[in-house]
């Protein structure tokens, strides 16, 4: 047994160049919301609206990563991490969503990327992690087809500036969360509560993805690749009753298939016609759109948190289904900790959709961490969670799935959207009062895991790329 507690054969199975990284998102960590010409995003508006976030928390200061990124990169490098997934804030680049480009915003990310490369940390940039420019929201947000075109314009600007140095790109982060939480259930920005029209937002997000990908292909950034990150959920029926089975199937459609099918098969699932009627309306989904959306991506990013049982419940409006958390360990915020589920998600992509390179672009555990009197953060439950995560990814590799990296959510404690700063996901504890970073036990554990894996796969790495 190794120091990480993962057996050697399990670790050896992961490719020598498997990327071990961590992830963040701009609004959750950057702060500096009024600096260097940044425009307003829907999350500024939402978090400043009373009652929308827990305790009225906002990202105004967050983890101050905008200023402290050199120190944060140092933490990654000194803990052996070879990759960093961050997001670019659209309102820093095109403050009004369309028109004038803000060079100071581009310069910031250019410095960040150079600093990463200097320390041997490979950047992976997400173009949209939910911070839509407020000006575009006022013109309809993702209900408006024009937003997809504006997204492609913004993507092209960023790609022209950074495409030569950033090898991995993601267009969107978790369109399901944008729509499911922001357009259907109303708990995320922009706060709409309307399933009936949510399909329109789904389609425009995916169209934006497809158009951004087309611009990327046209630029021919050498050595760079592009994909999209989806959140994969595992809804299972509560019982074998046909009503529960149908309810679970509906949630699987709403959370997984409505994104996977158009991306990989070029069509929307017909069984969702009642839930998302606009996805079957020719005025919204125009000829050729699905061809743009289904252009092959270079890899898929998978985020996984949600594992639930689903029971039919006519009292629940629209979906007629209730989610029940399975028994087992719970993380704070009621997120069930079932990291084993990642294996099934990864295998499913290969079996039902396409055999393509996969990156786990987020998995992580939320806890109520604290610094104990000896100055340590003993986050044993997070270490257990991550150990199982790595074992489950390795099991998927044993099943023949091409998994190439893991980006732990998250590098730092940060603003957990509507839950504010109430829960912590970081490998590094952030003392928000002083902005001091404290490596949690999990950060040290991650470092030992990374070096063990390097040690165990050294022979194969030396043999070069033909292993
Ligand atoms: C994901 C988000 C990420 C973070 C984690 C906990 O859905 O992509 O920003 O909030 O959940």
* pLDDT at residue 306 in the model: 84
Q: Which residues contact 393 (CB under 8 A, 6 or more apart)?
A: 14, 342, 343, 346, 360, 403, 406
Cα–Cα dist 402/396, whole Å: 8
What residue owns the CA closest to ligand 1's atom 10? 416
- Which residue has 């928390």 as its token pair? 57
Segments of 144-245 assigned E as strands = 168-173, 225-237
Q: Is the per-residue pLDDT at 65 higher than 60?
A: yes
Q: Is 416 in the pocket of ligand 1 (CB under 6 A)?
A: yes
Q: Is the per-residue pLDDT at 466 higher than 50?
A: no
Cα–Cα dist 20/41, whole Å: 31
* pLDDT at residue 328 in the model: 66
Could you report the per-residue pLDDT of 357-416, keeping only the tens digit for each? 999 999 999 999 999 999 999 999 999 999 999 999 999 999 999 999 999 999 999 999
Q: What's the gap in Å between 129 CA and the centre of ligand 1?
A: 9
Could you report the per-residue pLDDT of 111-148, keeping only the tens digit for each? 999 999 999 999 999 999 999 999 999 999 999 999 99
Q: Comparing 18-27, 278-287, 335-344, which segment has the lowest mean pLDDT?
A: 335-344
* pLDDT at residue 467 in the model: 39
What average pLDDT does this structure show over 25-47?
98
Q: Comparing 52-66, 259-273, 303-317, 333-347, which segment has the lowest mean pLDDT?
A: 333-347
The fold for domain 8-463 equals: TIM Barrel (3.20.20)
Q: What's the gap in Å between 411 CA and the centre of ligand 1?
A: 12
Q: What's the gap in Å between 335 CA and the centre of ligand 1?
A: 11
Q: Is 418 in the pocket of ligand 1 (CB under 6 A)?
A: no
Looking at every residue in the chain, the average pLDDT score rounds to 96
Q: Is the per-residue pLDDT at 334 higher than 80?
A: no
Q: Which residues contact 33 (CB under 8 A, 6 or more apart)?
A: 44, 59, 60
Q: Which atom of ligand 1 is nearest to the CA of 417?
A: 10
Could you report the per-residue pLDDT of 141-198, keeping only the tens digit for each? 999 999 999 999 999 999 999 999 999 999 999 999 999 999 999 999 999 999 999 9
* pLDDT at residue 368 in the model: 92
Q: Which residue out of 256, 409, 419 has the highest number of ligand 1 atoms within 8 Å of its CB and is therefore the one to mutate?
A: 409
Could you report the per-residue pLDDT of 243-264, keeping only the tens digit for each? 999 999 999 999 999 999 999 9
How far CA 103 is from CA of 60, 154, 212, 420, in Å, comes to: 21, 13, 20, 30
* pLDDT at residue 266 in the model: 98
Cα–Cα dist 427/444, whole Å: 9
Can you give the residue ranges of every domain in the chain? 8-463
**Nearest Cα residue to 180 out of 248, 233, 249, 243:** 233
What average pLDDT does this structure show over 321-325?
89
Q: Is 131 in the pocket of ligand 1 (CB under 6 A)?
A: no
What average pLDDT does this structure show over 227-247?
97
- Residues with a catalytic annotation lie at 174, 362
Q: Is 417 in the pocket of ligand 1 (CB under 6 A)?
A: yes
What radius of gyration do the chain's Cα atoms show?
A: 21
Q: Is the per-residue pLDDT at 30 higher than 80?
A: yes
Percent of the chain having pLDDT more than 70?
A: 97
């Amino acid at each position: 047994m190794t120091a990480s507690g993962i057996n050697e054969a399990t670790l050896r199975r992961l490719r020598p160049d498997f990327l071990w990284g961590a992830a963040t998102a701009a609004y959750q960590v950057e702060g500096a919301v009024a600096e260097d010409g940044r425009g307003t995003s829907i999350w500024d508006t939402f978090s400043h609206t009373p009652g929308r976030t827990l305790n009225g928390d906002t990202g105004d200061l967050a983890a101050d990563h905008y200023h402290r990124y050199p120190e944060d990169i140092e933490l990654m490098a000194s803990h052996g991490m070879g990759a960093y997934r961050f997001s670019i804030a659209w309102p820093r680049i095109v403050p009004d969503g369309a028109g004038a480009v803000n060079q100071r915003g581009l310069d910031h990310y250019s410095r960040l990327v150079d600093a990463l490369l200097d320390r041997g940390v490979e950047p992976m940039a997400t173009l949209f992690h939910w911070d839509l420019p407020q000006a575009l929201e006022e013109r309809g947000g993702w209900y408006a087809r024009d937003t997809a075109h504006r997204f492609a314009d913004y993507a092209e600007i960023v790609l022209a500036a950074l495409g030569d140095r950033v090898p991995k790109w993601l267009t969107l982060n978790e369109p399901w969360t944008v729509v499911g939480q922001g357009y259907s259930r109303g708990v995320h920005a922009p706060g709409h509560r309307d399933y009936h029209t949510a399909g329109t937002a789904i389609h425009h997000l995916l169209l934006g993805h497809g158009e951004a990908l087309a611009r990327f292909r046209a630029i021919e950034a050498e050595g760079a690749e592009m994909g999209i990150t989806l959140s994969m959920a595992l809804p299972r029926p509560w019982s074998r009753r046909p009503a529960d089975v149908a309810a679970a199937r509906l949630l699987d459609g709403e959370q997984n298939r409505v994104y996977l099918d158009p991306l990989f098969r070029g069509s929307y699932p017909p069984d969702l016609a009642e839930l998302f009627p606009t996805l079957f309306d020719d005025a919204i989904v125009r000829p050729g759109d699905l061809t743009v959306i289904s252009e092959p991506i270079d890899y898929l990013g998978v985020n996984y948190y949600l594992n639930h049982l689903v029971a039919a419940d006519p009292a629940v409006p629209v979906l007629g289904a209730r989610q029940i958390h399975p028994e087992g360990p719970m993380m704070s915020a009621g997120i069930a900790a079932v990291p084993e589920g990642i294996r099934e998600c990864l295998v499913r992509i290969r079996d039902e959709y396409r055999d393509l390179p996969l990156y786990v672009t987020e998995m992580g555990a939320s806890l109520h961490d604290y610094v104990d009197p000896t100055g340590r953060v003993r986050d044993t439950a997070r270490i257990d969670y991550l150990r199982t995560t790595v074992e489950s990814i390795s099991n998927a590799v044993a099943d023949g799935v091409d998994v190439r990296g893991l980006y732990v959510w998250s590098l730092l404690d940060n603003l957990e959207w509507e839950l504010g700063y109430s829960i912590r996901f970081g490998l590094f504890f952030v003392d928000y009062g002083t902005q001091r970073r404290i490596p949690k036990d999990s950060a040290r554990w991650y470092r030992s895991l990374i070096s063990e894996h390097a040690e165990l796969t050294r022979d194969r790495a030396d043999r070069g790329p033909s292993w």
